[in-house]
Structure 1
Amino acid sequence: MRLAGPASILSAFLAVSPARAADCLQEQAIYGDADNAYELHFEPVGSASAATSNHFKVKVGKTDLVLDGIVMQSDEPVRANGMIMHKCPEGDVTGDDIAACTIWQGVIYSVSADGKVLSLPGEGLEAAAQVLLPDFGPAIRNSSIWGKATVAPWDVLTFKGCSQ
């Protein structure tokens, strides 16, 4: 019987080791909640002149629901203000139209691997180890999608992988 050398052991470890946020850009990061009921998939904004700094989709497990998310940076203090919406009308809409289709809104924080709470990174920057959406779970429970979604998510979602 031949014993594996250090290079073989390292190769095997790397093949099964989980993806690290440090190896991924924010616009490719995928996050999941503790119950694996919700996945948040960041995607490229697609324009340097866009008013948004991040785009993402929220997939609700065991349903066909996919929610749209955007992040806009505020000024003084700089904060990543997020909105998660479902079936919003397009084109010339009013504030009431947007409010009616908004599932959650608030500041999105990133949590680094060493526990520091920071603003969500923009495109082209290293992905956060975790994202924190304060009151995300209660917002889902009080939203128009409750009933189709039957599990409220945790407010902290952890890095799961990196899309290509």
Structure 2
Amino acid sequence: MGNFDVFIYTDGAARGNPGPGGYGIVMEWVGKPYKKEFSQGYHHTTNNRMELLAVIEALRKLKKNNLNIKIFTDSKYVVDAITKGWVFNWQRTNFKGKKNEDLWKDFLALYPKHHLSFQWIKGHNNHPQNERCDQLAVEASKKPKLLVDDGFEKS
């Protein structure tokens, strides 16, 4: 697995896509019994936005820089955009014609602060942390008080 400090598991959900959505995060400090969970729901958003926002919010929670982090997600959109370098091309073309520019810019601001490795995992495949993230995301999307996804609703 390499020498990782933190494992981050993320998932996003949107009912209706677009519709009410949410993200779920499970963070584990490698080699320690330390685990944290986070989630948040949004009034009107998309699945891809929630998948990406989960990664961003997880990175924002870290109090130290220069960590070796492995991020597990079932989002091909997120993994491919980063590991295949698409997002860096989008950045060079000022995100012309690309969706979720606001979130990708947020991600790119956080990206250099750590050593990130991404691993795609098949969703709904009995992976315990991914299943938990999915549960957190769906529950968050059903809460009575949901946040406004400004980046989506203003686009």
Task: Report the TM-score, using the length of structure 2 for normalisation.
Answer: 0.28
Q: Bigger relative contact order, structure 1 or 2, given CA contacts below 8 A and separation 6+?
A: 2
Bigger share in helix: 2
Which is greater in Rg? 1
